[in-house]
Structure 1
Amino acid sequence: MSLDALHNLLLEQPLIVLFALIASGLILGSVTIKGINLGSSGVLFTALLAGHLGYAIPAGVGTLGLVLFVYCVGIGAGDRFFASLVREGTALAKLAVLIVALGAAMTWAGATLLDLPTGLAAGIFAGALTSTPALAAATEGMAGLGGGNAVSIGYGIAYPFGVIGVVLFVQILPRILKLDLDADADAPNTDCGNRVENVLVEVANPNLYGQRIAESGVTNFNAIQISRIYAGGCLVPLRYDDVFEEGQILLVVGRRCEMQIAIDFIGHRSDRKLPRDVENERQSLVVTSSAFIGQKLGDLAPLRNYGVVITRITRLGLTFVPNANTVIERHDHFTCVGRVDDLKKFSVAVGHRSSAVDATCLLSLSVGLTLGILLGMLPFGLPGGTPITLGLAGGPLFVALVLGHFGKIGPIVGFIPRQTRMLLQELGLVFFLANAGVRGGGALVSTLQEHGVMLFALGVCVSCLPLIVAWPIASTYFKMPPLQALGGICGGMTSTPALGALTAKTDSQTPVISYVSAYPVALIFMIIGSKLLIKLLG
């Protein structure tokens, strides 16, 4: 088939174009250079090219992608968004709001000075802060104003530096300020230091003999848990009354970088081979009980009160080993070790529902989306003012936040298993990006010719100003330690690549915890910020 014949075929088959540009965009997004890649946003760039070449995709795909994407974002963030505003993450929530506000202010000032179109400015704001939810909200907000196509162009121009800038910031700043992020940061295999491993350790510290294992202080280490005792040729779950004994073999679970400290404290590494784990004495549980949410793990004392040890917690897709100061969040996934009866008792206490782990209620999903779309259509406003609507981005997002926070309202379930939610979220995102790129591609060249390099320069400023201002405020005003401040800045900029670069340079889990506290707040306020920018610049 000749190129002309293929071109004519694609012009007549928009469905083929849709999946072809998604596939090529994902391939582009998977290309990694020094740990940085475009991810799903690669679809936007291939779609811009497709739009410039005159290709089209099926009508309605972008709208479907938008509502699926923002709804899943809301479900994922809802259980932590409100909590981050009122608990110990308040400082990190304020830091996230500050970062978004500075980015929005810089965008408004630059767009006003350069006399940029509203849609283009909103796109630069979303791209500079690498926020696809903000891109979605801005595109939907500009739909009735005739500037929706410019949003994706602005996003595409600002996004690359938005990704690279934050990564460079968290790598260069510690060097400039000579911050010792971790004593073992320069040790070999530091990049593997966050890997969780199981090690058999023989008790040889006389100071521990006779002490209760659960109260020995081992769990106060940054990322270490003792979960089992070797007895009778197999590993049995730890009980609250178990004590240290000379020559005793313990199964220690923790991050590789912390493990040697625990081994030296307890005794020495055992020569025994690690037996096969007993699967019926380990279970994954989802936290939904309000009695657990917001509590510190040490205060809950799961081993003393329930006979189980929590060896890992998975939150926002990140898995870490908890310690006594770890605060429990709604829909945390616990990996628990204990006897069968104790696991059942603990399962009831945390509010775990086995069906909630793998099952998705399609009825609840459909009802939630319907309510969100209807809410987005309802006009509201102050007396005498112009009524406004939340739109297809705001309505589903608000409903999803509420459902995600409460978990269940009447018969409507607000929990979607992570695997399903991420699939729907990514599918919605690539549908939306494909539509936005194809629509904006036709005006790409003319926009660049009209505004030139100033668009890129504004994107750099919008990315850099929040970073430059947020660091001294976080470290001086909020009195955050360096790692907490850097992790919070990564969350405030919604930059997962920057978090990866930071955790590769330190053995502490503080950046991860800070990131997951600031990220949901930043996510929501970026959506709000994009809407406000459109109002101010419109």
Structure 2
Amino acid sequence: MEEFFRNLFFGNDAFWGGGVAHSVLILAVVISLGVALGKIKIAGVRLGVTWILFVGITFSHFGMQLNEHLLHFLKEFGLILFVYSIGLQVGPSFFSSFKKGGVQLNLMATGIVLLGVVITYVIYLITGLPITTMVGILSGAVTNTPGLGAAQQAYSDMTGIDSPDIAMGYAVAYPLGVLGIILSMIFIRWIFRIRFEEEDKAYTVKQGGAHEAVRISVEVKNPFLDGKTVLQIKRLINRQFVISRVLHPDGRIDIAGSQTPLSVGDKALIVTTTDDMGLITDFVGEKLDMDKDEWERLDNQLISRRIMITKSKLNGQYIGALRLRSGYGVNVTRVNRAGVDLIPNHNLQLQMGDRLTVVGSESAINAVSKILGNSMRRLNEPNLIPIFVGIFLGVVLGSVPIMFPGIPQPVKLGLAGGPLVVSILISRFGPHYKLVTYTTMSANLMLREIGIALFLACVGLGAGEGFVHTVLYEEGYHWIGYGFIITVLPLLIVGIIARKVLKVNYYTLMGVSAGAMTDPPALAYSNGVAGNDMPSVGYATVYPLTMFLRILTAQLLILCVS
């Protein structure tokens, strides 16, 4: 069979020779085939770029390999690019994910991570398998490629050699790991007899929406309110309501801010609850028969537009310092950063690339656009200096030995952990020091995909020589079962506690489960089942901390047990 493949590929040295052309050719074919296969659904699930690993293993099995030193360099460089781009993406939301309900969700995710580590160690003690193999199985079972890279790097630093067992364990456990996450979600739904209608209702009640929100139009007739601002009126009556628009007798329409004054004769669009509707109407004046369509026609005087911050001098400034409301008569309703919507309070620090949703008159918005920049050309210019300075600092940090009592070898964050920590810190705190860390979503994704593609291709090409023999003849098929246990057991334990004790909504629980396994296919399944964005919110809340813990625990297992 091997001879057949040799002859199939022209019988020349292009695939089995040496040099740059040989290496580029092998990598290009492995990555191209892997990406193409990753688009195919198996049982409704795509394995994505992980196919690159399997293609690399196949090529290596038939003798198509790279130079050992080049293979090592490309693998480590790809890993650095991958984890650094991940840090840039999750950094802005990393610390905010611990606020409010995020603490509980992150504790659940941490429990899943730690249970997986404990189960891995127990299986290691029972079976006597090398810890390198078990860490590889763990990384595959939880579908975490950065953990695989961190483990390989830690082992290489400690021993001076690479361990193919880590990659083989990962490759064997990964496919069933993806499926196991989804099966765990289905099992939790079955044992608790979960009905989606009840989940929708329970979530509404929990969010304070047990009483339906309604929009009412009211004419101001209470003389006591004449000249008072929206903020003053809200202090006078302790009820849930928001004044959205104010229509003046002369036909002008304003977006209501906290300092917007009301006068007798003004018409206000108010959002409140059904319980408070009558009281608020009586307090303000008289209810009007103005429907939503009429307000929307009046809103033609106003427009909503997303404006991007592209002026570097605004990087790190507080949104309140811009005085957009008082100076230009516009309201900022949302700030989108790295795909996450943030509340635009006056203490929010702006960053290059933030997208501000601004509502106001066209002339005012055009003026604000000039102030903020809104130049895609400026954003399309890559900020290479912060990227490579960050990588430099990350490699330095990853090389610093940290001694822990009871551990014979010093712990290092390595080429996976160091750049990840630095990129999170730079993307979060860089604007405080006027450091522009912005990269477009497309640029970040390209950097990340190139990095993971190089890493997986090199891992596969380095591990494939003994893969088939190990799986078929050395009881490697048992690894599949071990991986399935590591995948499912922590999810079921934490899922049952979260549902029975903490009463976590099922949609949120699905998102946390997918995030704790850093598994996009499981998130896609959850979103399809839920039909709303609650799984995505849970996923985004726990993803940053989980990614950090996966990388750290994989290294600690190698360093502490080896």
Partner of residue 123, structure 1 = 136
Partner of residue 458, structure 1 = 482
Q: Distance in 2 between matches of 1:227 and 1:38?
A: 49
Alpha-carbon shift at residue 315 of structure 1 (Å) = 5.7
Judge which range, 458-467 or 109-118, deviates more: 109-118
Secondary structure of residue in 1 paired with 2:195: coil
Partner of residue 14, structure 2 = 9
Secondary structure of residue in 1 paired with 2:26: helix
Cα gap change, 1:329 to 1:292, in 2 (>3 Å): same
What do residues 464-523 of structure 1 show as CA deviations (whole Å, max 9, x unaligned)?
012101113323444433322322222112122222222223344332222111111111
Cα gap change, 1:160 to 1:317, in 2 (>3 Å): farther
Q: Distance in 2 between matches of 1:312 and 1:180?
A: 33
Partner of residue 209, structure 2 = none
Q: Distance in 1 between matches of 2:95 and 2:441?
A: 19
Aligned match of 1:38 in 29, 44, 47? 47
Q: Does 1:336 align with 2:358?
A: yes
Secondary structure of residue in 1 paired with 2:474: helix
What do residues 132-187 of structure 1 show as CA deviations (whole Å, max 9, x unaligned)?
111111121122434532211111111112212222333453344232334799xx
Partner of residue 307, structure 2 = 283
After superposition, where does 1:325-474 map in structure 2 within 5 Å?
333-339=355-361, 340-341=363-364, 357-381=379-403, 386-408=409-431, 410=433, 412-448=435-471, 449-474=473-498
Judge which range, 409-418 or 503-512, deviates more: 409-418
After superposition, where does 1:43-54 map in structure 2 within 5 Å?
43-54=52-63
Partner of residue 200, structure 1 = none
Alpha-carbon shift at residue 70 of structure 1 (Å) = 1.4
Partner of residue 157, structure 1 = 172
- Give the aligned residue type for 1:11: W
Cα gap change, 1:490 to 1:435, in 2 (>3 Å): same
What do residues 207-256 of structure 1 show as CA deviations (whole Å, max 9, x unaligned)?
5566999999xxx99xxx98999xxxxxx99565699xxxx9x9xxxxxx
What do residues 10-62 of structure 1 show as CA deviations (whole Å, max 9, x unaligned)?
11212101011100000111112454101111111111111111112361211
- Give the aligned residue type for 1:462: I
- Give the aligned residue type for 1:430: A
- Number of equivalent positions: 490
Partner of residue 529, structure 2 = 505
Secondary structure of residue in 2 paired with 1:21: helix
After superposition, where does 1:50-199 map in structure 2 within 5 Å?
50-57=59-66, 59=70, 60-85=73-98, 87-144=100-157, 145=159, 146-182=161-197
Cα gap change, 1:277 to 1:267, in 2 (>3 Å): closer
Q: Distance in 2 between matches of 1:63 and 1:237?
A: 56
- Give the aligned residue type for 2:10: A
Q: Unaligned regions of 5+ residues in structure 1, if any?
A: 186-203, 230-235, 251-264, 294-300
Q: Distance in 1 between matches of 2:104 and 2:411?
A: 32
Q: Distance in 2 between matches of 1:366 and 1:323?
A: 31
Q: Percent identity?
A: 27
Cα gap change, 1:323 to 1:398, in 2 (>3 Å): closer
Secondary structure of residue in 1 paired with 2:46: coil
Q: Distance in 1 between matches of 2:306 and 2:418?
A: 40
Equivalent pair of 1:282/1:335 in contact (CA under 8 Å):
yes
- Give the aligned residue type for 1:106: I
Partner of residue 191, structure 1 = none
Q: Distance in 1 between matches of 2:189 and 2:315?
A: 38
Cα RMSD, aligned residues only: 4.8
What do residues 230-287 of structure 1 show as CA deviations (whole Å, max 9, x unaligned)?
xxxxxx99565699xxxx9x9xxxxxxxxxxxxxx984779x99x9999994424599
Q: Distance in 2 between matches of 1:303 and 1:352?
A: 18
Cα gap change, 1:8 to 1:363, in 2 (>3 Å): same
After superposition, where does 1:262-281 map in structure 2 within 5 Å?
267=291, 281=305
Alpha-carbon shift at residue 436 of structure 1 (Å) = 0.5
Secondary structure of residue in 2 paired with 1:130: coil
Judge which range, 52-61 or 472-481, deviates more: 472-481
- Give the aligned residue type for 2:195: D
Aligned match of 1:18 in 6, 14, 27? 27
Q: Distance in 1 between matches of 2:173 and 2:422?
A: 30
Equivalent pair of 1:289/1:351 in contact (CA under 8 Å):
no
Alpha-carbon shift at residue 103 of structure 1 (Å) = 1.1
Equivalent pair of 2:379/2:440 in contact (CA under 8 Å):
yes
Q: Distance in 2 between matches of 1:67 and 1:381?
A: 24
What do residues 89-144 of structure 1 show as CA deviations (whole Å, max 9, x unaligned)?
11112112111111111111112211112222111111111111111111211224
Cα gap change, 1:206 to 1:379, in 2 (>3 Å): closer
Q: Rg: which structure is higher? A: 2
Q: Distance in 1 between matches of 2:378 and 2:125?
A: 49
Q: Distance in 1 between matches of 2:316 and 2:25?
A: 46
Q: Unaligned regions of 5+ residues in structure 2, if any?
A: 1-5, 201-213, 222-228, 235-239, 248-252, 270-288
What do residues 362-387 of structure 1 show as CA deviations (whole Å, max 9, x unaligned)?
11211111122222223332589643
So what's the TM-score if we normalise by structure 2? 0.72
Partner of residue 256, structure 1 = none
Equivalent pair of 2:395/2:414 in contact (CA under 8 Å):
yes
Q: Distance in 2 between matches of 1:71 and 1:174?
A: 36
Q: Distance in 2 between matches of 1:428 and 1:468?
A: 33
Judge which range, 50-59 or 477-486, deviates more: 477-486
Cα gap change, 1:333 to 1:180, in 2 (>3 Å): farther
Equivalent pair of 1:184/1:506 in contact (CA under 8 Å):
no
Cα gap change, 1:242 to 1:458, in 2 (>3 Å): farther
Secondary structure of residue in 1 paired with 2:403: coil
Partner of residue 207, structure 2 = none
- Give the aligned residue type for 2:360: G
Equivalent pair of 2:383/2:437 in contact (CA under 8 Å):
no
Alpha-carbon shift at residue 346 of structure 1 (Å) = 9.6
So what's the TM-score if we normalise by structure 1? 0.75
Q: Distance in 2 between matches of 1:175 and 1:515?
A: 22
